[in-house]
Structure 1
Amino acid sequence: MTANTTAPSSMFPKRDWSGVSRRALSATEVVSQLAALPGWQLSGDGADVAIEKTFRFANYHETLAFVNAVAFIAHAQDHHPDLSVHYNRCAVRWNTHDVGGISATDIDCARRVEALLAQDAAHA
Protein backbone atom coordinates (compact mmCIF):
# COMPACT_ATOMS: atom_id res chain seq x y z
CA MET A 1 0.00 0.00 0.00
CA THR A 2 1.44 3.32 -0.97
CA ALA A 3 1.06 6.48 1.04
CA ASN A 4 -0.93 8.17 -1.72
CA THR A 5 -3.50 5.38 -2.07
CA THR A 6 -7.10 6.52 -2.10
CA ALA A 7 -10.26 4.47 -2.09
CA PRO A 8 -12.64 5.97 -4.64
CA SER A 9 -16.28 5.75 -3.68
CA SER A 10 -17.10 4.09 -7.00
CA MET A 11 -14.85 1.18 -6.01
CA PHE A 12 -16.56 0.71 -2.67
CA PRO A 13 -20.20 1.69 -3.08
CA LYS A 14 -22.28 1.60 0.06
CA ARG A 15 -24.05 -1.71 0.33
CA ASP A 16 -27.76 -1.72 1.07
CA TRP A 17 -28.11 -4.03 4.07
CA SER A 18 -31.89 -3.56 4.39
CA GLY A 19 -32.68 -6.83 2.58
CA VAL A 20 -30.00 -8.84 4.38
CA SER A 21 -30.91 -10.81 7.47
CA ARG A 22 -28.73 -9.58 10.33
CA ARG A 23 -27.81 -12.80 12.04
CA ALA A 24 -24.70 -14.46 13.32
CA LEU A 25 -23.27 -16.87 10.78
CA SER A 26 -22.82 -20.49 11.86
CA ALA A 27 -19.30 -21.80 12.46
CA THR A 28 -19.57 -23.79 9.22
CA GLU A 29 -20.57 -20.68 7.26
CA VAL A 30 -17.71 -18.65 8.73
CA VAL A 31 -15.10 -21.33 7.98
CA SER A 32 -16.43 -21.66 4.43
CA GLN A 33 -16.25 -17.89 3.86
CA LEU A 34 -12.78 -17.56 5.41
CA ALA A 35 -11.42 -20.12 2.94
CA ALA A 36 -11.68 -17.40 0.27
CA LEU A 37 -9.97 -14.80 2.48
CA PRO A 38 -6.31 -15.82 2.89
CA GLY A 39 -4.78 -14.84 6.21
CA TRP A 40 -8.06 -14.03 7.93
CA GLN A 41 -8.57 -16.02 11.14
CA LEU A 42 -11.16 -16.54 13.82
CA SER A 43 -10.37 -14.97 17.16
CA GLY A 44 -12.17 -14.72 20.48
CA ASP A 45 -15.18 -16.73 21.51
CA GLY A 46 -18.84 -16.35 22.35
CA ALA A 47 -20.18 -12.87 21.67
CA ASP A 48 -16.58 -11.63 21.26
CA VAL A 49 -15.82 -13.91 18.29
CA ALA A 50 -14.40 -12.03 15.31
CA ILE A 51 -12.43 -12.39 12.12
CA GLU A 52 -9.08 -10.68 12.01
CA LYS A 53 -5.95 -10.25 9.99
CA THR A 54 -2.69 -8.37 10.49
CA PHE A 55 -1.40 -6.42 7.50
CA ARG A 56 2.28 -5.45 7.24
CA PHE A 57 3.75 -2.41 5.52
CA ALA A 58 7.14 -0.88 4.78
CA ASN A 59 6.71 2.10 7.09
CA TYR A 60 4.37 4.18 9.22
CA HIS A 61 3.12 6.29 6.31
CA GLU A 62 1.95 3.21 4.41
CA THR A 63 0.33 1.85 7.56
CA LEU A 64 -1.62 5.06 8.08
CA ALA A 65 -2.64 5.19 4.41
CA PHE A 66 -4.08 1.70 4.88
CA VAL A 67 -5.85 2.72 8.10
CA ASN A 68 -7.45 5.68 6.32
CA ALA A 69 -8.58 3.48 3.43
CA VAL A 70 -10.12 0.97 5.88
CA ALA A 71 -11.84 3.88 7.64
CA PHE A 72 -13.30 4.96 4.30
CA ILE A 73 -14.67 1.44 3.72
CA ALA A 74 -16.01 1.27 7.28
CA HIS A 75 -17.75 4.61 6.98
CA ALA A 76 -19.29 3.72 3.61
CA GLN A 77 -20.58 0.42 5.02
CA ASP A 78 -21.60 1.89 8.38
CA HIS A 79 -19.72 -0.98 10.00
CA HIS A 80 -16.60 -0.25 11.98
CA PRO A 81 -13.74 -2.64 12.84
CA ASP A 82 -11.41 -2.64 15.78
CA LEU A 83 -7.99 -1.51 14.55
CA SER A 84 -4.66 -2.01 16.27
CA VAL A 85 -2.15 0.32 14.64
CA HIS A 86 1.64 0.01 14.94
CA TYR A 87 4.62 1.41 13.03
CA ASN A 88 4.60 -1.11 10.17
CA ARG A 89 1.44 -3.14 10.71
CA CYS A 90 -2.25 -2.91 11.42
CA ALA A 91 -4.54 -5.60 12.78
CA VAL A 92 -8.13 -5.39 11.54
CA ARG A 93 -10.85 -7.14 13.54
CA TRP A 94 -14.47 -7.37 12.36
CA ASN A 95 -17.48 -8.61 14.31
CA THR A 96 -21.10 -7.61 14.68
CA HIS A 97 -21.97 -6.79 18.28
CA ASP A 98 -25.73 -6.67 17.81
CA VAL A 99 -25.88 -10.28 16.59
CA GLY A 100 -23.26 -11.54 19.03
CA GLY A 101 -20.91 -12.96 16.44
CA ILE A 102 -19.76 -12.77 12.85
CA SER A 103 -22.27 -11.64 10.24
CA ALA A 104 -22.32 -11.40 6.45
CA THR A 105 -21.41 -7.74 6.93
CA ASP A 106 -18.08 -8.71 8.53
CA ILE A 107 -17.23 -11.07 5.67
CA ASP A 108 -18.19 -8.44 3.11
CA CYS A 109 -16.03 -5.78 4.77
CA ALA A 110 -13.05 -8.17 4.93
CA ARG A 111 -13.50 -8.80 1.19
CA ARG A 112 -13.52 -5.05 0.56
CA VAL A 113 -10.23 -4.64 2.46
CA GLU A 114 -8.72 -7.44 0.37
CA ALA A 115 -10.03 -5.78 -2.83
CA LEU A 116 -8.41 -2.52 -1.74
CA LEU A 117 -5.02 -4.20 -1.43
CA ALA A 118 -5.46 -6.09 -4.70
CA GLN A 119 -6.28 -2.81 -6.44
CA ASP A 120 -3.23 -1.15 -4.90
CA ALA A 121 -0.96 -4.06 -5.95
CA ALA A 122 -2.26 -3.85 -9.51
CA HIS A 123 -1.18 -0.21 -9.67
CA ALA A 124 2.23 -0.71 -8.07
Structure 2
Amino acid sequence: MSTQSSKKLVSQLCEACHVDAPKVSDEELKELIALIPDWVPQVRDNVMMLEREYKFKNYKLAWAFANKVSELAESEFHHPAILLEWGKVKVTWWTHAIGGLHKNDFICAAKTDELGE
Protein backbone atom coordinates (compact mmCIF):
# COMPACT_ATOMS: atom_id res chain seq x y z
CA MET A 1 0.00 0.00 0.00
CA SER A 2 1.42 3.34 -0.90
CA THR A 3 1.86 6.03 1.70
CA GLN A 4 1.54 9.76 1.25
CA SER A 5 5.33 10.04 1.08
CA SER A 6 5.62 7.29 -1.55
CA LYS A 7 3.28 9.36 -3.75
CA LYS A 8 6.30 11.64 -4.30
CA LEU A 9 8.04 8.76 -6.04
CA VAL A 10 4.95 7.61 -7.94
CA SER A 11 4.57 11.02 -9.55
CA GLN A 12 8.04 10.78 -11.10
CA LEU A 13 9.12 9.09 -14.32
CA CYS A 14 12.16 6.92 -14.85
CA GLU A 15 15.00 8.66 -16.60
CA ALA A 16 17.16 7.04 -19.23
CA CYS A 17 20.01 5.30 -17.45
CA HIS A 18 23.47 4.73 -18.85
CA VAL A 19 26.43 2.71 -17.67
CA ASP A 20 28.09 5.64 -15.88
CA ALA A 21 24.92 6.85 -14.14
CA PRO A 22 25.44 7.21 -10.38
CA LYS A 23 24.18 4.56 -7.98
CA VAL A 24 22.23 5.84 -5.01
CA SER A 25 24.47 6.83 -2.13
CA ASP A 26 24.08 5.34 1.35
CA GLU A 27 22.35 8.55 2.45
CA GLU A 28 19.97 8.49 -0.53
CA LEU A 29 19.26 4.81 0.16
CA LYS A 30 18.12 5.65 3.71
CA GLU A 31 15.89 8.47 2.49
CA LEU A 32 14.36 6.57 -0.42
CA ILE A 33 13.79 3.26 1.40
CA ALA A 34 11.88 5.20 4.08
CA LEU A 35 9.37 6.12 1.34
CA ILE A 36 8.76 2.44 0.45
CA PRO A 37 9.09 0.63 3.81
CA ASP A 38 7.76 -2.73 2.56
CA TRP A 39 10.71 -3.14 0.20
CA VAL A 40 13.91 -4.80 1.39
CA PRO A 41 17.37 -3.99 0.03
CA GLN A 42 19.13 -7.24 -0.93
CA VAL A 43 22.64 -7.88 -2.19
CA ARG A 44 23.10 -10.70 -4.70
CA ASP A 45 26.35 -11.25 -6.55
CA ASN A 46 27.58 -7.90 -5.17
CA VAL A 47 24.58 -6.10 -6.69
CA MET A 48 22.19 -4.12 -4.48
CA MET A 49 18.53 -4.74 -5.35
CA LEU A 50 15.08 -3.90 -3.98
CA GLU A 51 12.76 -6.82 -3.32
CA ARG A 52 9.22 -7.31 -2.12
CA GLU A 53 6.86 -10.26 -2.00
CA TYR A 54 3.14 -9.73 -2.56
CA LYS A 55 0.61 -12.32 -1.37
CA PHE A 56 -2.65 -13.26 -3.09
CA LYS A 57 -5.53 -15.67 -2.47
CA ASN A 58 -4.76 -17.81 -5.50
CA TYR A 59 -2.62 -18.25 -8.60
CA LYS A 60 -4.94 -16.35 -10.93
CA LEU A 61 -4.79 -13.16 -8.80
CA ALA A 62 -1.00 -13.44 -8.52
CA TRP A 63 -0.74 -13.93 -12.28
CA ALA A 64 -2.90 -10.86 -12.95
CA PHE A 65 -0.66 -8.78 -10.68
CA ALA A 66 2.50 -10.09 -12.39
CA ASN A 67 1.00 -9.00 -15.72
CA LYS A 68 0.34 -5.50 -14.33
CA VAL A 69 3.96 -5.28 -13.17
CA SER A 70 5.09 -6.34 -16.65
CA GLU A 71 2.97 -3.59 -18.21
CA LEU A 72 4.45 -1.05 -15.79
CA ALA A 73 7.95 -2.22 -16.70
CA GLU A 74 7.29 -1.74 -20.39
CA SER A 75 5.75 1.70 -19.89
CA GLU A 76 8.78 2.84 -17.83
CA PHE A 77 11.24 0.91 -20.01
CA HIS A 78 12.74 -0.46 -16.79
CA HIS A 79 12.41 -4.19 -16.17
CA PRO A 80 12.45 -6.14 -12.89
CA ALA A 81 12.77 -9.80 -12.08
CA ILE A 82 9.30 -11.23 -11.42
CA LEU A 83 8.82 -14.60 -9.74
CA LEU A 84 5.24 -15.87 -9.98
CA GLU A 85 4.14 -18.68 -7.67
CA TRP A 86 0.81 -19.90 -6.32
CA GLY A 87 -0.51 -17.06 -4.19
CA LYS A 88 2.54 -14.84 -4.36
CA VAL A 89 4.68 -12.69 -6.60
CA LYS A 90 8.21 -11.59 -5.78
CA VAL A 91 9.36 -8.44 -7.57
CA THR A 92 13.02 -7.40 -7.64
CA TRP A 93 14.10 -4.03 -9.04
CA TRP A 94 17.66 -2.96 -9.82
CA THR A 95 19.39 -1.15 -12.63
CA HIS A 96 21.23 -3.61 -14.83
CA ALA A 97 23.30 -0.93 -16.61
CA ILE A 98 24.99 0.19 -13.38
CA GLY A 99 24.87 -3.06 -11.43
CA GLY A 100 23.01 -1.57 -8.49
CA LEU A 101 20.30 0.81 -7.37
CA HIS A 102 19.31 4.01 -9.14
CA LYS A 103 16.45 6.32 -8.21
CA ASN A 104 14.48 4.66 -11.05
CA ASP A 105 14.27 1.49 -8.96
CA PHE A 106 12.60 3.32 -6.09
CA ILE A 107 10.18 5.05 -8.46
CA CYS A 108 9.20 1.71 -9.98
CA ALA A 109 8.92 0.04 -6.56
CA ALA A 110 6.48 2.74 -5.42
CA LYS A 111 4.50 2.34 -8.63
CA THR A 112 4.44 -1.43 -8.10
CA ASP A 113 2.95 -0.87 -4.65
CA GLU A 114 0.13 1.13 -6.22
CA LEU A 115 -0.67 -1.81 -8.51
CA GLY A 116 -1.05 -4.07 -5.47
CA GLU A 117 -3.66 -1.87 -3.81
1:1-124 paired onto structure 2 within 5 Å: 15=13, 17-18=15-16, 22-44=21-43, 47-118=46-117
| Partner SS for 2:97 | helix
Q: CA deviation at 1:44?
A: 0.9
TM-score when scaled to structure 2?
A: 0.80
TM-score when scaled to structure 1?
A: 0.75
Whichever of the two has the greater Rg, that structure is 1
Call closer, same or farther: CA 1:63–1:92 in 2, change over 3 Å: same
C-alpha distance in 1, partners of 2:11/2:70?
Answer: 14
Instruction: Structure 1 unaligned segments of length 5 or more: list them.
Output: 1-11, 119-124
Instruction: Structure 2 unaligned segments of length 5 or more: list them.
Output: 1-9
C-alpha distance in 1, partners of 2:58/2:43?
Answer: 29
User: How much identity, in percent, do the aligned residues show?
Assistant: 25
Report the aligned-residue RMSD.
2.6
C-alpha distance in 2, partners of 1:69/1:26?
Answer: 30
Q: Which runs of 4+ in 1 moved over 6 A?
A: none
Higher relative contact order (CA 8 A, sep 6+): 2
